Structure 1
Amino acid sequence: MSTEKAGYHHGNLRETLVRTALTLLEESGVEALSLRAAARGAGVSAMAPYRHFADKAALLAAVADQGYADLRDRLAAADTQADPRQALVEQGVAYVRFACERPALFRLMLGAPSAGAAPGPKAPAHQPPGPQPPGPKKTAGSGYDILSARVAGLVAEDRRDTAVVAAWSLVHGLACLAVDGRLHGMPGGMAAPEALARQVTSLFTAGLVAARPPSVSA
Structure 2
Amino acid sequence: MSVRFFFQFCFGSILLQLTVTAVLSSNGYKYDSCGLLTSNATSRQQTKFNFQLLGYDYDNLPIILMNWGHYDLRWLEAHPKQLDTFQRNIAQWIDDTSNGTFFRRVINDTWTTYSHVSILDFDGLDLRQILSETAIKLVLQTFIQLQKLNSLISYGFIVNANPIAHQVINLAKPLAANLLEHFDVYGTNSRKWKPFLAKKIPIHQLPPAFGGNKDFKPVANCGLI
Is TM more than 0.5 here?
A: no
- More strand as a share of residues: 2
The structure whose residues are more often helix, as a share, is 1
Could you state the TM-score of these two structures normalised by the residue count of structure 2? 0.28
> TM-score, with normalisation over the residues of structure 1?
0.29
Instruction: Please identify the structure whose Cα radius of gyration is greater.
Output: 1
Higher relative contact order (CA 8 A, sep 6+): 2
